[in-house]
A = this chain, B = another copy of it.
Amino acid sequence: MTARPANAHQARLLRLLRDGGPGSRAQLGDQVELSRSKLAVEIDRLLDTGLVVADGLAASRGGRRSHNVRLAPQLRFLGVDIGATSIDVAVTNAELEVLGHLNQPMDVREGPVAVFEQALGLAAKLRSSGLAPGGFDGAGVGVPGPVRFPEGVPVAPPIMPGWDGFPVREALSQDLGCPVLVDNDVNLMAMGERHAGVARSVDDFLCVKIGTGIGCGIVVGGQVHRGATGSAGDIGHIQVEPDGRPCACGNKGCLEAHFGGAALARDAEAAARSGRSPELASRLDTHGRLTAADVAAAAAAGDPASLALIREGGNRVGQVIAGLVSFFNPGLVVIGGGVTGLGHHLLASIRTQVYRQSLPLATGNLPIVLGELGPTAGVTGATLLITDHLFSPAS
């Protein structure tokens, strides 16, 4: 895809077709403030670029039948969502429907070179399976740490040794032969849930991702708030216990040191070894290690120690979210990430804390819900990011 919209009207039309799917000229006309003749001109120009194609006659609305148009069906976008311990790679069409999706365990601490080798391998696999025969028209990438957004460079990521300053955008763009944008993984999850999930069309909300670590996507007026240095939403290092556990960041008592996938696994193994949980002990025997999924399964089987771990973790994260709700007064809180496998036990503890600690005015009409898209939230947000860029007038 080398063509770009020539002006703001064309950009708006492309995004409407991306978000709403194929539409008639008449339907598009209802959504943009353009005269009929100007609309026709812009659509004809988009047809000329090949970004948009005709798609048959629309259903009659009375009068002459209007032609349908849609985004070119061969456009392909790549979404890459790098977590701390796994990687998701997906290919979508221009309407951001996930056509194929692969997930693999991965260790972000191996550094960018090894991780991107893996990402490119997965992308090649999707491509060669016939999902993207012509290659990719653009790619969005999420990394589990703060990003200097305009340059697409991770900065000082606490859990990502070797990534500081690595030119992700530039390097991947060369390897893939297409434009690439990079953002924090949590921001992409938030925008993914806004595009196609539980936060659909919500303009102001928080999306808390509880994976190995914990972060928060902040959406204000439909846009991600990245903060002065790109580290907004870094709630994993909010102190929850004045003299609490030592954290990887060098401080004590950070939220992440007490809850999240890594802390939960550690606590679960301690419960298994101490004899407090025969259920977890038997799982530890079988697998050699424990994860949040083991705690979820043990809790589902009624294991009191696992239930207590979830409750305590939910209280911790709920305490932090309560503060954010008082501060930010969001209209919706979405909980996502790997630990959502803990499901409704976790959600119940979080809700209890927030509804107890924040003032009624802030919580009176505040849904706190699990994300809907699971592992495709991040990759959807990633393809949204790059198409937002490509469906803007080249400047």
- Secondary structure at chain A's binding surface: helix, strand, loop or mixed? loop
Would you mind naming 21 contact pairs between A and B with Cβ atoms under 8 Å apart? A156-B359, A156-B360, A156-B361, A204-B228, A218-B328, A220-B220, A220-B225, A225-B328, A229-B362, A230-B329, A231-B326, A231-B329, A232-B329, A234-B361, A237-B326, A238-B322, A238-B357, A239-B319, A239-B357, A251-B357, A327-B327
CB distance B324 to A359 under 8 Å? Answer: no
Q: How many copies does the complex hold?
A: 2
Contact with B along A221-243 (1 / 0, CB 8 A): 10001111111111101110000
Give Cα A328 to B323, complex, Å: 12
Q: Please indicate the chain B residues that have their CB under 8 angstroms from the CB of A326 in the complex.
A: 231, 234-235, 237-238
The interface on chain A, measured as residues whose beta carbon lies within 8 A of the other chain's beta carbons, has a size of: 46
CB distance A322 to B239 under 8 Å? Answer: yes
Instruction: Name the residue of chain B whose CB is nearest to the CB of A233.
Output: B327
Instruction: Tell me the minimal C-beta distance from A237 to chain B in angstroms.
Output: 5
Instruction: Tell me the minimal C-beta distance from A365 to chain B in angstroms.
Output: 7
| Max chain B Cβ within 10 angstroms of own Cβ: one of A158, A216, A362 | A362
Q: Quick check: is A380 within 8 A (CB to CB) of the other chain?
A: no
CB distance B237 to A361 under 8 Å? Answer: no
Q: Quick check: is A338 within 8 A (CB to CB) of the other chain?
A: no
Q: Please indicate the chain B residues that have their CB under 8 angstroms from the CB of A227 in the complex.
A: 204, 328-330, 362
Give Cα A1 to B225, complex, Å: 38
